[in-house]
Amino acid sequence: MEKLIAGQVVTYTGDPFEIPPEEAVQVLSDAAILIRDGRVVSIGGREHMRVKHPEAEFHDHGPALIVPGFIDAHAHYPQTAMIASWGKRLIDWLNSYTFPEEAKFADRAYADDIAARYLDLLLANGTTTVTSFCTIHPGSVDALFEAAEQRNMRVIAGKTCMDRDTAPEMLRDTAKAAYDESKALIERWHGKGRAVYAITPRFSPTSTPAQLDALGKLWAEHPSCLMQTHLSEQTDEIDWVKGLYPTARDYLDTYEQFGLVREGALFGHAIHLEPREIAHLKAMDCSLIHCPTSNTFIGSGLFDMGARKSEGHRVGLATDTGGGSSFSMLRTMAAAYEIGQLTHTALHPAQLLWLATYGSAQALRMEDRLGSIAPGMEADLTVIDLASTSAIAQRAIRAETIWEEIFPTVMMGDDRAISATYVMGERAVV
Ligand code: GUN
Ligand code: ZN
C-alpha cells in the first residue's frame, strides 16, 4: 500500500554551516511525499503527486511543516521519572537523584514501565530515534529495545558500565561482567530489526582502566557498534578525572588509551576541551553531542557550536534527559539558539532544524538511512503545526518569509506543535 503525505516538506541540499542555510534547507510548499514499504520513494508537488498516484492513501497536513523525525543523539531513558530535580551540579546531582533512580531498574517490570512511557513521550514530541544510556542492568537494555521493537522505532542503546568505587555498590559491575553482559546484548540486539547497539562506559570517573580496556577490546571485536560516553561536561569533573588518571594527557586520553576514540564514538557534552582534544576528535572523526538544556540546567557551560562546526566536527543535538530539562527537540533547538547567542553565533532556524535531524544522523553515522526526506530514506517523519498556540500564531501570522514563520515555533514550541509522527511510514498513535 502506497501513501502520500502532504504539507510543506523540508529537504536538504547541503550542510547549512557550509553553504547559505536557506539554500541548504529547502521548504517545498504544497508538496507530497510518496511512501512505500516504510521508505520514501519520491517527493513532488501535491497535485502532481495526487494525479500520478491516485491509489495511494492520502494524508493531507495542509500548511503544516513536514520534517525528518527528530533524532535525539544522547539521552538517559532511566532518568525519565526524575527529570527536573532541583539544585545540584553534576556530581551531586548524580549521587542525589540519578543513581538512586537508576538502582530501581534492577526490577524488570519497572524498566518496562519507564521504557514504554519514555518512547511514547518521544513520539508525542516528534522524536523518532534516540541514542540512550540504560543502567548497569542488562534487563534495562532488553526493556528499551523491546519497547522500541513494538513501536518499530530505530533506537540505539547500551548497558551503562560502571565498576569503580566512585559509583554506589548497587550500581557497580566489574570489567569482566561489563564485557560479558555487553557482548551478550550485542549478540541479542545489534542489527535486530532497527536496533543498534552502543557500547556504553558511563564516563571515565566511574570506570577503572581495566573496564575501559575491556570495552575497547569488545568494540574492536564488534566494530559496527557505536560507542557512547561523556566528555568534559563540567570543570569539576575534569579535575576529578585528572586525579583518577594521573598519567593521562587530558580527559580524552583516558578513553584514547583504551581504543575508545575513533569513528563511531559519541561524546556527550564535550564543552571544556583542550586544543589537543579538539584536534584529535576531529582527526579521528568522532562525534560531539550538544545537550543545551542540560548544560544550562546543570550549569555546565557553553558549547561553542560555531567553532566546532567551522572546524568540521560531526555535531549532533540531544536532550540528555533527565539532565536535560525537556523531552522536546524543539525546546532543545531553542536552548541551542540561546547558547549560540552567548557564544556569538546566531544560529539560523534552518541550522537548528538540520542539527536536530541530519546533524544527529551524521553524528550517528546513519545519514544514509535517517535524518532527511529523500528517496530511499526510512520514512520517519514529524509534522509540525506552525501556529500551535495563540502566542505562536499571533507572531507567525506577521511573518514575511517561511523562516520567520518557523522561528517562533522553534523558540516557543513544544509537544503541542507536533500534529503527527510517522514511524517507517506508519502514523504513531500517542
Ligand atoms: N555524566 C555521567 N553520567 C551522567 C548523566 O547521567 N548525566 C549527565 N548529564 N552527565 C553525566
Ligand atoms: Zn548524558
**DSSP-derived secondary structure for 69-110:** PEEEEEEEGGGGGG-S--S--HHHHIIIIIHHHHHGGGSHHH
Question: What is the Å distance from ligand 1's center to 63 Cα?
Answer: 39
Q: Beta strand 3-12 with 25-36: parallel, antiparallel or unpaired?
A: antiparallel
| pLDDT reading at 392 higher than 90 | yes
58 and 85 together in one domain: no
List pocket residues of ligand 1, CB cut-off 6 Å: 76, 90, 94, 98, 202-203, 230, 233, 294, 298, 320, 323
Q: Pick the atom of ligand 1 nearest to 237's CA.
A: 1
- Best residue for ligand 1 mutational test, from 74, 76, 92 (most atoms within 8 Å of Cβ): 76
User: Across the chain, what does the average pLDDT equal?
Assistant: 98
276 and 341 together in one domain: yes
Which residues on adjacent β-strands are paired with residue 197?
157
Among candidate residues 310, 335, 363, the one where a domain is terminated: 363
155 and 206 together in one domain: yes
| pLDDT reading at 298 higher than 90 | yes
| pLDDT reading at 296 higher than 90 | yes
Model confidence, pTM: 0.99
58 and 176 together in one domain: no
321 and 217 together in one domain: yes
Question: What is the Å distance from ligand 1's center to 321 Cα?
Answer: 9
pLDDT at 399: 98
Among candidate residues 343, 363, 383, the one where a domain is terminated: 363
pLDDT at 242: 98
pLDDT in tens, 233-275: 999 999 999 999 999 999 999 999 999 999 999 999 999 999 9
pLDDT at 430: 82
- Best residue for ligand 1 mutational test, from 79, 85, 233, 255 (most atoms within 8 Å of Cβ): 233
CATH assignment at residue 359: 3.20.20.140
398 and 354 together in one domain: no
Give the cell for residue 221: 571485536
123 and 139 together in one domain: yes
Alpha-carbon distance of 337 to 347, in angstroms, equals 6
Q: Beta strand 381-384 with 57-68: parallel, antiparallel or unpaired?
A: antiparallel
Q: Running DSSP on this structure, what letter comes out for residue 378?
A: B
274 and 334 together in one domain: yes
Question: What is the Å distance from ligand 1's center to 43 Cα?
Answer: 40
Name the residue range of residue 277's domain.
Answer: 70-363
349-374 burial string, b = 16+ CB within 10 Å, else e?
bbbbbbbbbbbbbbbbbbbebbbbbe
pLDDT in tens, 126-155: 999 999 999 999 999 999 999 999 999 999
Residue of minimum CA distance from atom 1 in ligand 1:
230
| pLDDT reading at 419 higher than 90 | yes
Q: Pick the atom of ligand 1 nearest to 298's CA.
A: 9
Residue count of the chain: 430
Mark out the alpha helices in 21-170 (DSSP H runs).
21-24, 46-52, 90-93, 99-103, 108-124, 138-151
pLDDT at 52: 98
145 and 179 together in one domain: yes
Question: What is the Å distance from ligand 1's center to 140 Cα?
Answer: 17
Among candidate residues 337, 363, 389, the one where a domain is terminated: 363
CATH assignment at residue 390: 2.30.40.10
Question: What is the Å distance from ligand 1's center to 92 Cα?
Answer: 11
**What is the tally of structural domains in the chain?**
2
309 and 380 together in one domain: no
Rounded mean pLDDT, 334-353: 98
Question: What is the Å distance from ligand 1's center to 37 Cα?
Answer: 38
293 and 413 together in one domain: no
Residue among 429, 417, 423, 430 at smallest CA distance from 61: 417
124 and 84 together in one domain: yes
